[in-house]
C-alpha cells in the first residue's frame, strides 16, 4: 500500500462447551461439526497491524520475534486481507497476550480474531461481523467464535466455499450467568497444533465417525439448554462433549494425551464437588489446563476447593466477555 495505515484490536479467547475437533476441508478450515462456546472476559489479546510496506510480513508476539511457522500462518491471513483490499506490501503485526500462549488457553482464537479485525481495518476494509468471522476462521477454527461475546454458536455449513461456515451470537450472559475458572496446571507451550492433532484423529481414531455424527445432536441439546437457562444441563453436556473429544484424542495414533496428573485430580475433585451439591463441571481443550464451569453465586466455594488440588499452579476466574473490538485506528496519507 502506498499509504501508511494501522489499527489495533482486542479479542478474548473462548472456551467451547460443545467442541470442534475435525475439519471437512483443511485448507479453508471448514469444520466437520458445529460448536458452541463462551467468550471469556478475564483474558485478552491485543494486536496492532501496521501496513508499513515492508518486503515481508513480520510478527512480534509478546515482545519477541515469533517463530517462522507462526509468522507464515499470520502472513497467510494477511494475504487474504490484501486480496480483498486489492492491496500490496508487508505488515508489521505486534500481538500481546495477557495469558500463556499456546497452552490450551486458545490464544489462536483471540489472536486470529484480533488479527482479522485489525488487519482489515488497517487495510481500509469494513467487514460485517459474519464476514469477519469467516475470515478469522481461516486463521484458526475457534477464532471465528471469538468475533462475538457471550454464548456463541459456530455453524458447520454445507458449502464448499465456506460462506455458510461462520459463528453467530447465541445468547447473552443474562440468559444463563456463568463463571469459568481456569485451573492452570502447566505454563509451557503445547507441542502440536490442534489442526495437526485433529487431522491425525480423522486418519486414525476408530471413534472418529461416531464423534462427527454425534456432534449435531450435541449442539442442538446445548443450544436448547442455554436458551432455557438450565445450568445443570449445560454443565453436564459440556463435560460430556469434552470427555468424548478426549476419547478421540486418546484413540488417535500416535495418541494425543493432554491430561496431566493435576488435570485428572481436578476432574475427580469437581465430580466429587457435584456429589456434595455444588454446581461444577469441567471442560478441557488441547492442553493440560482444566476449565471449571460454575454458577457465579456459588463460585467462592468451588474456587477454594479447586485451588487446594495438588498441582494447580493458579486459578484464573472469568465471567463472559465481549466480542472483538477496535481500540484505535490511525490512517496517515
Q: Which stretch binds ligand 2P0 (CB under 6 A): 15-23, 83-91, 161-169, 214-222?
A: 15-23
CB 318 within 8 A of CB 42: yes
Cβ proximity to ligand 2P0: between 97 and 194 the closer is 194
| Closest-CA residue to 32 (of 211, 224, 242, 243) | 211
Cβ proximity to ligand 2P0: between 100 and 141 the closer is 141
CB of 281 to ligand 2P0, least distance (A): 16
Cβ proximity to ligand 2P0: between 194 and 289 the closer is 194
Binds ligand 2P0 (CB under 6 A): choice among 193, 204, 233, 251? 193
Q: Is 200 in the site for ligand 2P0 (CB under 6 A)?
A: no
CB of 102 to ligand 2P0, least distance (A): 7
Torsion of CA 79, 124, 107, 233, to 10 degrees: -110
Which of positions 133-192 make contact with ligand 2P0 (CB under 6 A)? 140-142
Q: How far apart are CA 109 and CA 14, in angstroms?
A: 7
Cβ proximity to ligand 2P0: between 108 and 252 the closer is 108
Q: Is 78 in the site for ligand 2P0 (CB under 6 A)?
A: no
DSSP 296: G
Write b or e for each residue in 92-105: b if 16 or more Cβ atoms lie within 10 A of its Cβ, otherwise e: bbbbbbebbbbbbb
Q: How far apart are CA 170 and CA 157, in angstroms?
A: 16
Which of positions 253-272 make contact with ligand 2P0 (CB under 6 A)? none
Q: Is 109 in the site for ligand 2P0 (CB under 6 A)?
A: yes
Q: Is 57 in the site for ligand 2P0 (CB under 6 A)?
A: no
CB 136 within 8 A of CB 144: yes
Cβ proximity to ligand 2P0: between 32 and 286 the closer is 286
Distances (CA, A) of 149 to 11, 144, 153: 9, 11, 11
Cβ proximity to ligand 2P0: between 21 and 51 the closer is 21
Q: Which stretch binds ligand 2P0 (CB under 6 A): 13-21, 83-91, 92-100, 224-232?
A: 13-21
Q: Is 194 in the site for ligand 2P0 (CB under 6 A)?
A: yes
Q: How far apart are CA 137 and CA 33, in angstroms?
A: 13
Task: Note the residues at the interface with ligand 2P0 (CB under 6 A).
Answer: 16, 19-21, 35, 108-109, 140-142, 193-195, 285-286
Amino acid at each position: 500500500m502506498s499509504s501508511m495505515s494501522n489499527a489495533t484490536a482486542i479479542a478474548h479467547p473462548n472456551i467451547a462447551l460443545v467442541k470442534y475437533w475435525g475439519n471437512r476441508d483443511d485448507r479453508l478450515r471448514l469444520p466437520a461439526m458445529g460448536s458452541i462456546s463462551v467468550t471469556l472476559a478475564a483474558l485478552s489479546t491485543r494486536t496492532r497491524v501496521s501496513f508499513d510496506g515492508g518486503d515481508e510480513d513480520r510478527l512480534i508476539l509478546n515482545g519477541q520475534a515469533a517463530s517462522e511457522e507462526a509468522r507464515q500462518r499470520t502472513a497467510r491471513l494477511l494475504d487474504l486481507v490484501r486480496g480483498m483490499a486489492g492491496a500490496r506490501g508487508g505488515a508489521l503485526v505486534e500481538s500481546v497476550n495477557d495469558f500463556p500462549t499456546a497452552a490450551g488457553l486458545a490464544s489462536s482464537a483471540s489472536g486470529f480474531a484480533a488479527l482479522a479485525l485489525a488487519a482489515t481495518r488497517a487495510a481500509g476494509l469494513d467487514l460485517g461481523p459474519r464476514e469477519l468471522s469467516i475470515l478469522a476462521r481461516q486463521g484458526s477454527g475457534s477464532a471465528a467464535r471469538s468475533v462475538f461475546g457471550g454464548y456463541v454458536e459456530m455453524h458447520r455449513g454445507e458449502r464448499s466455499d465456506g460462506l455458510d461456515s461462520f459463528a453467530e451470537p447465541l445468547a447473552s450472559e443474562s440468559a444463563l450467568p456463568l463463571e469459568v475458572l481456569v485451573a492452570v496446571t502447566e505454563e509451557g507451550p503445547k507441542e502440536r497444533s490442534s489442526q495437526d492433532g485433529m487431522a491425525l484423529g480423522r486418519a486414525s481414531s476408530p471413534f472418529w465417525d461416531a464423534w462427527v455424527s454425534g456432534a449435531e445432536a450435541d449442539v442442538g441439546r446445548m443450544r436448547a439448554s442455554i436458551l432455557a437457562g438450565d445450568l445443570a444441563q449445560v454443565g453436564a453436556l459440556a463435560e460430556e462433549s469434552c470427555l468424548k473429544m478426549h476419547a478421540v484424542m486418546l484413540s488417535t495414533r500416535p495418541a494425543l494425551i493432554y491430561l496431566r496428573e493435576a488435570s485428572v485430580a481436578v476432574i475427580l475433585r469437581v465430580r466429587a464437588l457435584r456429589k456434595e451439591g455444588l454446581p461444577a463441571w469441567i471442560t478441557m481443550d488441547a492442553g493440560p489446563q482444566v476449565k471449571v464451569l460454575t454458577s457465579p453465586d456459588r463460585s467462592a466455594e468451588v474456587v477454594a476447593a479447586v485451588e487446594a488440588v495438588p498441582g494447580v499452579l493458579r486459578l484464573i476466574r472469568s465471567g463472559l466477555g465481549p466480542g472483538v473490538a477496535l481500540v484505535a485506528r490511525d490512517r496517515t496519507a
